[in-house]
């Protein structure tokens, strides 16, 4: 890994990273500011949630909504945070080499006395660090505001939930790296990677309603990440293991393919 390339990735994308960090802070702050009114309304809020269509409750896995874990799981960790981590992962992954090709700087970059594999490893490292930063912001934001809104939640489970979402982002960054190494087209890579994320969420959401979709659960990254309410039940070791192993496979495949394909300047 080369520190110069590692830093360059951050210089190129620091504004984007800052924006996503602020988005997370805004989302968490707004959601937690609503929680006291949910608790205060008590039975009324429960009756309101119970009145939702059963299909809607199944899609968002809405259980024990007035508890801290149930509220955060529904409002933050079931859709909003996963989409942020997926978006950042795909964009940074696709930018690693595909952006260089589209800018016409790939021939200059790959002519340096550094192997392509080393170049991509450096950019992979910076992407993982960026996702770690966002996951840490999420954890700290929730942790620091919990006391102000009287939200009871296991700190350990909160950390584990953030860890699981971190690896969801890393998994989709792996898709970005792989597709970028294959196509050399940033827009196409972002489109396919984001599309896979949305399709995964669609199958995950509809699986409780459509029995024909349940076969996708064992291979669905959303199922690995939020199939179990980690905030309430603790770590989903099997799901996290699948995310880690799949991410390593995607990263390794991208490193192999970038060495073999013809780079377009």
- What are the pLDDT digits (tens) for 140-173? 999 999 989 989 899 999 999 999 999 999 999 9
Number of DSSP helices (H) and strands (E) in the chain, helices first? 13, 0
29 domain-assigned? yes
Domain tally, the chain: 1
* CA gyration radius, the chain: 20
What is the mean predicted confidence (pLDDT) over 73-81? 89
Closest Cα partner for 88 from 150, 151, 153, 15?
15
Non-local CB neighbours of 149 within 8 Å, separated by 6+ positions: 32, 33, 35, 36
265 domain-assigned? no
| 173-206 CB burial, b ≥16 within 10 A, e <16 | bbbbbbbbbbbbbbebbbebbbebbeebbebbbb
Q: What range defines the domain where residue 189 resides? A: 3-260
The Cα 211–Cα 164 span in angstroms is 26
122 domain-assigned? yes
Q: What token pair was written down for 240?
A: 């996290």
Measured from the Cβ of residue 29, the count of other Cβ atoms closer than 10 Å reads: 12
Q: pLDDT (tens digit, 9 = 90+) per residue, 235-262?
A: 999 999 999 999 999 999 999 988 877 6
The Cα 236–Cα 159 span in angstroms is 13
Asked if 174 and 55 count as a contact pair (C-beta separation under 8 A), the reply is no
Q: pLDDT (tens digit, 9 = 90+) per residue, 187-244?
A: 889 999 999 999 999 898 888 777 788 888 899 999 999 988 899 899 999 999 999 9
92 domain-assigned? yes
Q: What percent of the chain has pLDDT over 90?
A: 48
190 domain-assigned? yes
The Cα 142–Cα 121 span in angstroms is 32
Q: How confident is the model at residue 105 (pLDDT cuts 50, 70, 90)?
A: low
The DSSP code for 235 is: -
Closest Cα partner for 92 from 197, 189, 225?
189
Measured from the Cβ of residue 136, the count of other Cβ atoms closer than 10 Å reads: 14
Q: pLDDT (tens digit, 9 = 90+) per residue, 35-58?
A: 888 877 766 656 656 666 565 566
The Cα 226–Cα 191 span in angstroms is 23
Tell me the CA distances in angstroms from 161 to 152, 168, 195, 201, one per residue in order.
Answer: 15, 11, 24, 17
| 72-98 CB burial, b ≥16 within 10 A, e <16 | bbbbbbbbebbebbbbbbbbbbbbbbb
Instruction: Provide the whole-model pTM.
Output: 0.89
H/E element holding 42? none
């Amino acid at each position: 890994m080369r520190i110069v390339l590692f830093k360059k990735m951050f210089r190129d994308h620091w504004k984007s990273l800052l924006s996503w960090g602020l988005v997370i802070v805004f989302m968490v702050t707004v959601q937690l500011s609503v929680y006291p009114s949910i608790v205060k309304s008590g039975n009324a809020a429960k009756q309101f949630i119970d009145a939702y269509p059963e299909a809607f409750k199944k899609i968002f896995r809405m259980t024990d909504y007035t508890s801290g874990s149930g509220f955060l799981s529904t409002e933050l960790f079931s859709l909003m945070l996963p989409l942020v981590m997926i978006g950042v992962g795909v964009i940074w992954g696709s930018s690693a080499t595909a952006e260089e090709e589209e800018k016409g700087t790939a021939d200059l970059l790959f002519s340096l006395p550094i192997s392509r594999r080393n170049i991509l490893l450096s950019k992979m490292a910076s992407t993982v660090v960026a996702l770690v930063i966002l996951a840490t912001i999420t954890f700290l934001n929730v942790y620091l505001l919990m006391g102000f809104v009287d939200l009871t939640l296991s700190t350990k489970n909160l950390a584990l939930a953030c860890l699981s979402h971190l690896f969801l982002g890393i998994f989709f960054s792996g898709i970005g790296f792989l597709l970028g190494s294959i196509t050399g087209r940033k827009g196409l890579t972002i489109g396919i990677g984001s599309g896979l994320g949305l399709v995964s969420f669609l199958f995950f959401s509809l699986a409780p309603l459509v029995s024909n979709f349940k076969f996708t659960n064992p291979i669905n990254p959303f199922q690995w990440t939020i199939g179990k309410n980690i905030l309430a039940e603790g770590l989903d070791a099997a799901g996290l293991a699948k995310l880690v192993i799949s991410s390593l496979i995607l990263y390794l495949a991208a490193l192999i393919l970038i060495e073999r394909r013809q780079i377009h300047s």
